[in-house]
Structure 1
Amino acid sequence: MLILLPPSEGKTAAAKGHPFDLHELQFPELNPAREEVLAALAHISHSPDALAQLGVGASLAAEVERNTRLHNEPSAPAHTVYSGVLYDALGYRSMTATQKRKADAAVVVISALWGAIGFADSIPAYRLSMAVGLPETGKLASYWRKRLPTALDTHAEGHLLVDCRSSTYAAAWTPEPARTVVVNVFQERNGKRTVVSHFAKHTRGELARHLLTRRGKAPETPAALLKAAQEVWQAELVAGTARKAHALNIVLGE
């Protein structure tokens, strides 16, 4: 089982630590592309209109300025740097040592800056969204869509993929539909279902935690994933097609 996560918009910067080393990141075949995006990000972050180009407000000016010196910034494991609703719900820090090892092996984060990284990879805090386009690379989702299959198709072979990404990050890589389950979260009120983004992030984080901390064998099929989810939630499985992944729909009550 592999769990695909998006990064968090907000990041917790490491207070101390060595700068990142590209050669120590998972998926080293992505390093030439990573170097290109790092350089493009530093260049745009130096420009007078950097905030507008990166789609952020003035309150994030310090984070954009940090983009210009990422090679010298302290780094920390991705599970520490990424923060926010999903990652709080996943709760890596409160896991046992065995559960943490499972998370480090199973979680892959799809990133606008790094392409894809492992959960224990050491990175600095940065500010860049997959929705952004950089002059040197164009739209990052399109940029990575051409490059991620080389690294991820082989890595994913034989695994069930639990896809907890948002649509922005899902656009960067489309894994084999037959072994992929996209996680959707709905809230049901008076028989009507609605999508609620905040609860979706939280529930996806809870699902990831449940899969990593529950006893027993990790699910290897969409049906086994459904059974594991039903240990906690009301859930249903929508079968995929040759071109469309399966969908695990988690339904929250009022």
Structure 2
Amino acid sequence: MHVLLPPSEAKTAGGRGRPLRDRIGDGPLGVAWVRTTAALAQLVAGDRTVAADALLLPKGVTEQALADNARVLDARTTPALRRYAGVVYDGLDFAALTPAEQRVANRSVHVFSGLFGVVRGDEPVPAYRVPGKAVLPGLGVAATFWRPVLVDVLGERLQRGLVVDLRSGDYAAMWRPERAGADRVVAVRVLSPAPRGGHAVISYTSKLGKGRLCAALVRRVAAGGRVATVEDVTAAWADCDGAGHEERTDGRLDLFTN
């Protein structure tokens, strides 16, 4: 099983891991990381207003975000599932998982990133703020830069097992499965009762539901169960606070909250 998650602009501070500079060229994404971090360094070394606009930074977080981005190569790191701190990750609640469940999450969860492309749950990253729509000098829109890079990397990384895609739209566009493997990918939407009737994607409850579903999938695997079919995903949803599901024929699964 593999679970694809969006990142979060909110991050925890600090960390005890080696700085990124010590391993910047390592791994299949190493060359791309050199390019994105160099482009980021160039951006934040220039005009601060231009950098804030290119990074889509709200005024309330600009100073901290630019400071974090300026030291992205030299700051201490921490594993991805301990670094991200938004609503999805509140729902996942990594710290509350048992050690066995954490091991499953670390190897099974893949977080997409405007700066790093994709990182595994246990992969150490610094604090940073680079959304997928950020524009990096010489590279253009971050998400667009990553598309061709991730084709080969994820084609190999996700070549076996069911892929449960919980990404949001911007990050879903960074990688789409090849036709040969598309039948193993299930894109999930979490829908909630809408104020005017029916159901819709409500940002907060959708994100929280996706985090809880990720935790339920991890617990299922850690307990010796399997996540190999759409039915297994819906069974895991039933273990959360889900209210049912509607399966579509185009590889999408709609799940409903109460």
Task: Tell me the TM-score normalised to structure 1 length.
Answer: 0.91
Q: Tell me, in whole angstroms, the C-alpha distance in 2 between the residues paired with 1:98 and 1:24.
A: 29
Contact 1:24 1:121 in 2 (8 A): no
Paired-residue identity, %: 31
Instruction: Report the residue type matching 2:164 in the other structure.
Output: V
**Separation in 2, partners of 1:225, 1:83:** 24
Q: Contact between 2:139 and 2:145, CA under 8 Å: does it hold in 1?
A: yes
5+ residue gaps, structure 1, are none
Cα distance in 2 for partners of 1:58, 1:231 equals 40
Distance 2:21 2:119 in 1: 12
Q: Is the 8 A contact 1:14 1:75 kept in 2?
A: yes
Q: Deviations over 1:159-201 (max 9, x none)?
A: 1111111111111000232111111111125851122011011
Which residue of 2 is the match for residue 86 of structure 1? 88
**Structure 1 contact 2–106 (Cα < 8 Å) conserved:** yes
Superposed displacement of residue 97, structure 1: 0.9
TM-score (norm 2): 0.89
Q: Distance in 1 between matches of 2:93 and 2:2?
A: 17
- Work out the number of aligned pairs and report it: 248
1:65 to 61, 64, 67: 67
SS at structure 1 position matched to 2:132: coil
Aligned partner of 1:30 in structure 2 is 29
Per-residue CA distance 1:40-88 (angstroms, 9 max, x = gap): 0111112212111211133222221221221111111111111011111
- C-alpha separation between the residues in 1 aligned to 2:109 and 2:32? 21
**Residue 251 of structure 1: CA displacement?**
1.1
2:255 equivalent in structure 1: 250
1:185–1:249 Cα contact (<8 Å) kept: yes
Which whole-Å CA distance do the structure 1 matches of 2:45 and 2:67 have between them?
7
Letter in 2 for 1:201: K
The question of whether the paired residues in 2 share the 8 Å contact of 1:237 and 1:247 is answered with no
- Residue 147 of structure 1 aligns to a residue whose secondary structure is helix
Equivalent-residue separation in structure 1 for 2:161 and 2:24 (angstroms): 23
Cα RMSD for the two superposed structures: 2.0
Given the superposition, is the C-alpha separation of residues 15 and 141 from structure 1 closer, same or farther in structure 2, using an over 3 Å criterion? closer
Hey, what's the Cα distance between the residues in 1 that align with 2:72 and 2:217? Answer: 33
